[in-house]
Structure 1
Amino acid sequence: MTLKIQVSFEPPFYAGKDIIGAQHVRIRVDDSLGGHEFRWPIYTSLHDSCADEVLARDRLRRMKSTETCSLALDRLSQCLNNHSECLKPVQNRLLPTRVIDCTDPERPKLYLTGGSTLGSYVALSYVWGEDQPNKTRECNLGQYSQAIEAHLLPQTARDAIWVTNTFGERYLWIDAFCIIQDSTEDKRREIAKIPTIFADASFTIIAARSFKASQGFLHDCPPPSVLVYRLPFPCRDYRGSFGTMYVEQDKNSDYDASVEIDDPVHKRAWCLEERLLSPRAFAYTSSTLRYYCQMSRINVGNAVRQLDGQTTRRLNIDWKPQVDERLYDPITEPELDHNRRTRLWDNILHNYSGRTVTHFEDKLIALAGVASRFSVRWEKGEYLAGLWMNSLPHDLLWRVDYNARLPRPRGFRAPSWSWASVDSTVEATKSHPRETLLYELKDCEVKLASDLLPFGAVTSACLRMRARLVQAIWRDDSLYVRPPRVDSSFSRATGSGKQQEAEPKVYRAWLDTTEVCNRSVWALLICWRSKAAELAGLIVEPGEAPGEYMRVGCFQDYPRWMSTDSFQDLSLHDITFV
């Protein structure tokens, strides 16, 4: 059998001056049975003779090294000098109430700024994963302001102090030490400042790979599990000279993303907010050191592989933390712009809701900073326990994947109509251009746990509305409606005189939790989507008080059990939705 082998090289990809995609070697093998083509990224070492031609490098694996820090600072400098879309940090800005002075990494201390001191600082985003016995309390605040003995610090804090000092910064903000952990008042006051704290930091250190605070993040990264071949590379500048290239047999160039997606930081709710609020961040991942800004998500040291600069799939969100964008009102904005921006919140919510919180009451609090930024984006955006008044019909129709349901949490955290009332990952409904509302909102009431956190925890909330309700029953994992009386003309139109099904099955229905629901319920009609000929609504059951209803699920249907016009003729009932 005769084989014909062709080898070619693809050029790198750039975004501005940044290389975001490695060169690839393309190998085509033809034989009598046909052809096969292979395409793999290549890289070389910095000092190799072909380094001017093969531009990608190996991943950085030594995290606690001055060389790694130097390359990280170079990446930061390139961002500040070349990225017009990235806001430059203000050098003299207000420091947070408390920061850790890292001048002496072996003997750091808590610096009480008084809220009026100017300077620059770094913030840390990490997973607690365990109790921190030496966190700041009212009883040790004075002691820590003199010095914090190094052995009292968890390894992640010690590593962050080393990075801060080595990067040439003096101050570091860590929540466990810069918030008085046994003071409810101080926690509420400082948590309210978190959006500003992360937005104003010179950069954020993300301890992405650490499962708990005592683990640290500066240990070396293991080599990649993909196959890597060492091959000669013919240099153009030197006749007969060969350098060394490394061919990484990772067909889809997704090794880094697939490894990083399992990093602990992507499982914790607080860490998403901190990531989104940070204009610049260095993420110490399981595979290498990565840099995030408004224009790129890229491995430090030009260790690029794929075109999109090693985008983390779970964080591939079109979001910018700056608050000086043009204000807009989704009611008056063009339809496509409204939908695009609505989906932005939906994508963040989907990512966030699948993450865990240590404290039950933090479900809304840990997204409050991001919500506050949306309130600036949406000039008239009133926030209702996780939903937005301007897109309330859309927001009410969130759903949980039926096979991923979790038990309903005990105790009150949010009203039943809010996604924050469940622990499962939620999915927003699709945006539809033409919807007819089938309810009337009369009033809403939300009581906050603290006025310092207008986008945080709530103690109670309800929607008072005039709603159209249709009796239904949940049976055999499906929803069946009990249609109200139907006129004869509709019967003829739908069945040519045949008798209509007594309890027609709804096309799609989802329960919110794992609790058994073998009983009578109600279908609360939210909207009719004329373009899709689709009815959307919620599954509700009576609450404790008369006229009170609670959500237990949602549905979508292409109803044959009632005409479109007949929906508007249904009686409206005054209800309190809790």
Structure 2
Amino acid sequence: MGQSMKWAQGQIENCLYRHNLCHTRGDALANPTRLIDVASGGTGVKLRDCTSLPGSSLDYAALSYCWGDYEPKCMTTRNTIQRNLDYISWDLLPQTFRDAINFTRGLGLKYLWIDSICIIQKDNDDWCREAGKMFSVYKGAKVTLVALHGANSTAGLRETTIKEESWVVANLQIGQSIIPLCIRSHHYLANPDKGYFSGRLPLVNRAWTYQERIISPRTLFFDQGEVIYQCASEIRCECGKSIQSHGSSAASDAQSTSAIQRKWKSYFASNYSHLKVTNPRDRLAAIAAIAEQYQQIRPESRYLAGLWSDSLLEDLIWKLDVASKGMRVPFCFRMDIGRPYNLQTWSWASFQGTIDFFSLMNTEPLAQVVEANCVYAKENRFGVLEESKLVLRSRMLTCIMDGGRLYEPSGPRFGVPARMLTEWSLDIDCVQDCSQAQAVCLFQVLRAHLDRVFCLVLRLEDSSVEPHILSRLGVMSYRTSQRYHRTQDDLLLHRRFAHVGTMEEIEIR
């Protein structure tokens, strides 16, 4: 890969000297706790403790790759850390790590960061501490090497089993020479703002690697036949193709408070929500670096398990994006997606599935945030969530949900038999929670344009304490104006809220 190294080095130097937009590192970023020293040459490397290294800002590369189901022999644990600090033999390194080391040397860099070597694995204390430093690790790297292909670290930076997709379509004869005319597949990295990664690549389906690409100031993607360079200013391929980049920074395109809030939800949270993690506790930690960068442009806001305090009520109004899966059907017929993560039900991060947010304009709060707090491991406010508390106060109405329809509860309090309030207007998160008729609570959150009221659909979990504890089942909305109502159901539900609904203070878990 000697030619690719020379080309990549030229792109990095051009960026450093000519791209004002890309000068993002800053002096405040701390060095990683540990780095791999690759400068010895020949075979073998060693792990270095950066607290003992001179200099305040080290130049290093970082690696982004798929772990898969393979644990490399060079992995750092409490049992192997001293060995790795002394020397890591070449035969212990899988092919992707070897390629990354050689490429880092070719770029003239002395250090390389690889998570499985630079973080002590199977050690909860070190993992929780280091997982919260991914922003500074990838933001501070001079360049990130991305192994697009390969299900684990044995495949190499370039997957050797994949052939370059090019075909000979004709032969040109010039004098005595015959020159083949070839075509190749279209560049799928052509537009980063329109989902430029192919879903067939293992790397792009993983949660951890998403923030690694987003946060890095300069990235080298190792594709089938060439290396592709991206920074905040441009995208260039070895073949000569070049387009202007719109930037991968988490703070780009945010010109106002509302734009900042919208981009977090509509771009980063939505794109991240369907990505997979092996360990459920990593769900929030794997987007922590993007959240930390967003904190810089939302300094007055508090990060709350994927939501933000300055837009909390709007952030609560999320739903599963079943339309993207071609499932335009009532909730009772939807695929059972479920909640595989033990996180608070009010957070979109509690799901494995694509999350969508409503387009909300001219909102008026109907709920009061009484308390909203999160406690994170190792006091890292962007890392592993240990506990949280969300207490809201608003008007609440009890209904019966059955088969996608809402009914009034029958009984002396209501003075009427069960009557249907509305149907097919619920966005329910999880079929397994809603397969049988049950009492639910509609909790008003906010009013948006065209007199549309959004409610959380909640289920009572514990009424023995004050405030009562409920869990989220989904969201719904209805119109409050005669002018904009869709059906008589909306007006009936609106009247029931006014006549029977009560102001309640509740905790959602």
Give the TM-score of the pair, scaled to structure 1.
0.73
> Which residue is equivalent to 1:573?
504
Aligned residue among 88, 93, 100 for 1:153: 93
Taking the aligned partners of 2:21 and 2:145, their CA distance within structure 1 comes to 21
Q: Contact 1:462–1:576 at 8 Å: present in 2 too? A: yes
Aligned residue among 48, 51, 62 for 1:123: 62
Taking the aligned partners of 2:187 and 2:87, their CA distance within structure 1 comes to 47
Letter of the aligned partner of 1:273 in structure 2?
Q
> Which residue is equivalent to 1:345?
264
Q: Contact 2:31–2:136 at 8 Å: present in 1 too? A: no
> Which residue is equivalent to 1:535?
453
SS at match of 1:164: helix
Taking the aligned partners of 2:215 and 2:305, their CA distance within structure 1 comes to 20
Letter of the aligned partner of 1:161 in structure 2?
I
Q: Contact 1:259–1:286 at 8 Å: present in 2 too? A: no
Q: Which whole-Å deviations, capped at 9, do the CAs of 1:198-233 have from their partners, x for residues lacking one?
A: 111110111121211222223458555476645879
> Which residue is equivalent to 1:376?
296
> Which residue is equivalent to 2:331?
none
SS at match of 2:462: coil
> Which residue is equivalent to 1:553?
474
Greater displacement, 142-151 / 108-117: 108-117
Taking the aligned partners of 1:269 and 1:395, their CA distance within structure 2 comes to 21
Taking the aligned partners of 1:115 and 1:525, their CA distance within structure 2 comes to 56
Structure 1 520/246 Cα, relative in aligned 2: closer, same or farther at 3 Å? farther
Q: Contact 1:94–1:116 at 8 Å: present in 2 too? A: no
* Residue ranges of structure 1 left out of the alignment (5+ in a row): 1-64, 235-239, 312-316, 329-335, 486-498
Greater displacement, 68-77 / 353-362: 68-77
> Which residue is equivalent to 1:408?
339
1:243 deviates by: 12
Structure 1 127/179 Cα, relative in aligned 2: closer, same or farther at 3 Å? same
SS at match of 2:51: coil
Equivalenced residues, count = 469
Question: Which structure shows the bigger proportion of residues in helix conformation?
Answer: 2
1:520 deviates by: 2.3
Taking the aligned partners of 1:92 and 1:445, their CA distance within structure 2 comes to 27
Taking the aligned partners of 1:339 and 1:93, their CA distance within structure 2 comes to 28
Letter of the aligned partner of 1:437 in structure 2?
P
> Which residue is equivalent to 1:68?
4
Counterparts of 1:58-97 in structure 2, within 5 Å, are 65-87=1-23, 95-97=31-33
Aligned residue among 402, 420, 441 for 1:503: 420
Q: Contact 1:259–1:287 at 8 Å: present in 2 too? A: no
Letter of the aligned partner of 2:503 in structure 1?
L
1:126 deviates by: 1.1
1:375 deviates by: 1.4
Taking the aligned partners of 2:431 and 2:100, their CA distance within structure 1 comes to 41
Q: Which whole-Å deviations, capped at 9, do the CAs of 1:214-263 have from their partners, x for residues lacking one?
A: 222234585554766458799xxxxx9x998957487x865878774422
Q: Contact 2:158–2:223 at 8 Å: present in 1 too? A: no
> Which residue is equivalent to 1:187?
127
Please tell me whether Structure 1 or Structure 2 has the larger radius of gyration of its CA atoms. 1
Structure 1 534/286 Cα, relative in aligned 2: closer, same or farther at 3 Å? farther
> Which residue is equivalent to 1:289?
227
Q: Please say if 1:418 is aligned against 2:347.
A: yes
Q: Contact 2:164–2:224 at 8 Å: present in 1 too? A: no
Aligned residue among 459, 475, 480 for 2:406: 480
Aligned residue among 66, 81, 106 for 2:43: 106
Letter of the aligned partner of 1:508 in structure 2?
S
Structure 1 216/247 Cα, relative in aligned 2: closer, same or farther at 3 Å? closer
Letter of the aligned partner of 2:218 in structure 1?
R
Letter of the aligned partner of 1:514 in structure 2?
V
Taking the aligned partners of 1:195 and 1:371, their CA distance within structure 2 comes to 9
> Which residue is equivalent to 1:274?
212
Taking the aligned partners of 1:441 and 1:275, their CA distance within structure 2 comes to 35
> Which residue is equivalent to 2:106?
166
Letter of the aligned partner of 1:338 in structure 2?
T
Taking the aligned partners of 1:253 and 1:142, their CA distance within structure 2 comes to 45
Q: Sequence identity, in percent? A: 24
Structure 1 543/259 Cα, relative in aligned 2: closer, same or farther at 3 Å? closer
Letter of the aligned partner of 1:141 in structure 2?
I
Q: Contact 1:155–1:216 at 8 Å: present in 2 too? A: yes
Structure 1 365/131 Cα, relative in aligned 2: closer, same or farther at 3 Å? same
Structure 1 481/468 Cα, relative in aligned 2: closer, same or farther at 3 Å? farther
Taking the aligned partners of 2:15 and 2:180, their CA distance within structure 1 comes to 28
Q: Contact 2:220–2:228 at 8 Å: present in 1 too? A: yes
**What is the alpha-carbon root mean square deviation over aligned residues?**
3.5
Q: Contact 1:448–1:460 at 8 Å: present in 2 too? A: yes
Taking the aligned partners of 1:91 and 1:466, their CA distance within structure 2 comes to 44
Taking the aligned partners of 1:174 and 1:440, their CA distance within structure 2 comes to 45
* Residue ranges of structure 2 left out of the alignment (5+ in a row): 323-333, 480-484
1:178 deviates by: 0.8
1:133 deviates by: 4.8
1:509 deviates by: 1.8
SS at match of 1:213: coil
Q: Please say if 1:439 is aligned against 2:361.
A: no
> Which residue is equivalent to 1:468?
395
Q: Contact 1:470–1:484 at 8 Å: present in 2 too? A: no
1:533 deviates by: 2.8
Letter of the aligned partner of 1:427 in structure 2?
D
Q: Contact 2:232–2:247 at 8 Å: present in 1 too? A: no
Structure 1 165/345 Cα, relative in aligned 2: closer, same or farther at 3 Å? same
Q: Contact 1:437–1:527 at 8 Å: present in 2 too? A: yes
SS at match of 1:345: helix
> Which residue is equivalent to 2:308?
388
Letter of the aligned partner of 2:34 in structure 1?
R
Structure 1 249/201 Cα, relative in aligned 2: closer, same or farther at 3 Å? closer
